[in-house]
Amino acid sequence: MATVEITKDNFESTINDNSIVLLDFWASWCGPCRQFGPIFEKASEKYSDIVFGKVDTDAQTELAQGAQITSIPTLMAFREGIAIFRQAGALPAPALEDLIKQIQGLDMEQVRADIAAQDGDPV
């Protein structure tokens, strides 16, 4: 699956309607973004069960501000609608591959229990 353009109109549905979503917040003038782009694209072709979204921070300023993006590229990962990873900076291909495997291996029941414990909610 190729990367998908993410806008404020499809952001929430993309996050909520897919099991795993990786978002690359980028801009065309950003050198590290241009370095990371092909790595992200290649991974999107390998993992067809994961949604790889690109957020153009120049065109989607409201979305970038809402996500509190202060540095680009920033990679965000969501699993089952929960934000589970966020990091600024271009990742090399092996690091992205490792991250994807970690995301796939997450015990989401434990993640939800940990979130509930942090919020002070009973499990």
Q: What is the pLDDT along the chain (123 residues), one digit of tens a residue?
A: 589 999 999 999 999 999 999 999 999 999 999 999 999 999 999 999 999 999 999 999 999 999 999 999 999 999 999 999 999 999 999 999 999 999 999 999 999 999 899 887 655
Tell me which residues are annotated as active site.
30, 33
pTM, to two decimals: 0.92
Q: Print the SS3 string covering the chain.
A: CCCEECCCCCHHHHHHCCCEEEEEEECCCCHHHHHHHHHHHHHHHHCCCCEEEEEECCCCHHHHHHCCCCCCCEEEEEECCEEEEEEECCCCHHHHHHHHHHHHCCCHHHHHHHHHHHHCCCC
CA distance 61 to 69: 9
List of domains in the chain = 4-119 (3.40.30.10)
Q: Directed axis angle between helix 31-46 and helix 93-104, to 10°? A: 50
CA distance 61 to 8: 9
